[in-house]
Amino acid sequence: MMLLEPSFVTAAMVDEPSGSLPTGSALARKLDHHVRLNGDERATLDRCLGRSVRRLAARTALVEEGSTPSEMQVLLSGWACRYSQQPDGRRRIVAFYIPGDICDFDVFLMTAIDQSIASIGPALVAGLDRGAINELALTQPRTSQGLWWESLVSAAIQRAWTINVGHRSAKQRIAHLLCELHTRLAMVGMVDGGSCDFPLTQADIADACGLTSIHTNRALQEIRTLGLIALQDQRLDILHETALADLGRFNPAYLQIRSAQPPGPKSMIPIAV
């Protein structure tokens, strides 16, 4: 993984022709964990998502702190993060977004955005304005209910991150983050045999876990040495899922997974935390 500190830039987003954009299947899959959408509901959701679509380059600001956007941003492809830039130049990441995630549920309630949102790699983003949200609320109550549930899950993730950074060791923090992201990707069908895309740098992980890049590098090497993960060419392979969850004290209940299976047998791999 890269060790360079990434920088985010402000760049104009490019309009994407509606005929070439992917469907909102990732968001629909997420909502299916809360409500079951039928074909008409999925088609309406795709149509609303297709009204305003932008393509972003890597490390591009989507929403800047202090701005007043008029749309909720839905990630159709790629990864993004929410972050705060400190006066001394340090960055703190408070959320990662993957396909199907809504980046800013509070956009219609705040007079100004209190943190910035930027792409990690190239990304495709759809905007839902008040008109689209009102249409879904009036004509697609189950979709609206699913979005409401998703906002509660988003808040639960924030609480889990607070506990993770405040009460766990470096290895535990990183293990918990890897488990969460892997589980969220599985929820939208983006995990294949335990393997998933993973475009984050060590600096990204460090800024999300409240660690230095050097400390993050050391902790990742220790997790690798335990044989729990493999990280190469922007791919994450979780080799021992139960053992990694044990290390990070990860319980996916806060993600509200409808089809979640009961935890498997405890790993026999000895783990030092």
**Interval 88-140: pLDDT, tens:** 878 999 999 999 999 988 877 777 788 899 999 999 999 999 888 888 889 99
| 271 pLDDT above the threshold of 50 | no
> Mean pLDDT of all residues in the chain?
86
Instruction: Indicate yes or no: pTM above 0.75.
Output: yes
Residue 259's pLDDT is 53
Give, in order, the Cα–Cα distances in Å from 38 to each of 27, 30, 75, 132, 153: 14, 14, 21, 18, 22
Residue 22's pLDDT is 55
The phi and psi torsions of 196 (rounded to 5 degrees) equal: -150, 160
**Interval 11-32: pLDDT, tens:** 445 565 444 455 568 999 899 8
Residue 265's pLDDT is 38
**Interval 189-230: pLDDT, tens:** 999 989 999 999 999 999 999 999 999 999 999 999 999 999
Stretch 62-84: mean pLDDT, rounded? 90
Strands 53-56 and 123-128, by their bridges, are antiparallel
Confidence of residue 150 (pLDDT cuts 50, 70, 90): very high
Residue 64's pLDDT is 87
- At 72 the three-state DSSP class reads strand
Q: For residue 240, give both structure tokens.
A: 């021992």
Strands 116-119 and 61-63, by their bridges, are antiparallel
The phi and psi torsions of 9 (rounded to 5 degrees) equal: -125, 155
